[in-house]
Amino acid sequence: MRLREEILAAGMTPAVARRFAESLRDVALSDGRMGSAELVAVESLIDSITAADDDVAPAPIDALMPYRELFLRTCIYLCVVDGAYGVEEARAVSELAHRLGLSSHRLAAVEEEVFQALTALAAGR
């Protein structure tokens, strides 16, 4: 299942989807810049998960707890889309993982899963 479909299938409430989207944008901007590939990916993903809910206030960050691995995987994918997973972006992802109760060991495993999936995709597998 593609990431976008996985997010849509998660069944988040509009407020949780808004928090998911806004937090993705925050992570993407954590390095102080957003390249064109990153901007297109972020905006496309955000539009697809919040399209009908522009007036909904975001839920608190802890509302992402049931979706934390999906959220963090999405953050990492978006950070890597510009070709680099910089220190600032990695720090922002790590801080969110900590706030959502994910251990650094598990975060490292999630990062590795994302990197392996992207490597396989690039290799055409």
Q: What are the tens digits of pLDDT across the range 23-63?
A: 988 888 887 777 676 677 777 777 777 766 678 899 999 99
- The pLDDT value given to residue 53: 64
pTM: 0.87
What CATH code is carried by the domain that includes residue 17?
1.10.3680
Which domain, by its residues, includes 82?
3-122
Over pLDDT 90: what percentage of the chain? Answer: 45
Q: How large is the average pLDDT for residues 83-102? A: 92
Q: Which two tokens stand for residue 50?
A: 């919040």
Tell me how far apart the alpha carbons of residues 93 and 59 are, in angstroms, rounded to a whole number: 19
The pLDDT value recorded for residue 51 is: 67
Higher-confidence residue: 15 or 125? 15
How many domains, in total, are found in the chain? 1
pLDDT of residue 56: 87
Which range is least confidently modeled, 9-13, 24-28, 62-66, 104-108?
24-28
Cα separation values, 108 from 38, 113, 115, 121, Å? 22, 9, 10, 20
Give the pLDDT of residue 125.
61
Q: Which pLDDT score is estimated for 20?
A: 93
Q: Is 44 within 8 Å of 62 (Cβ atoms)?
A: no
For position 32, what pLDDT does the model report?
76
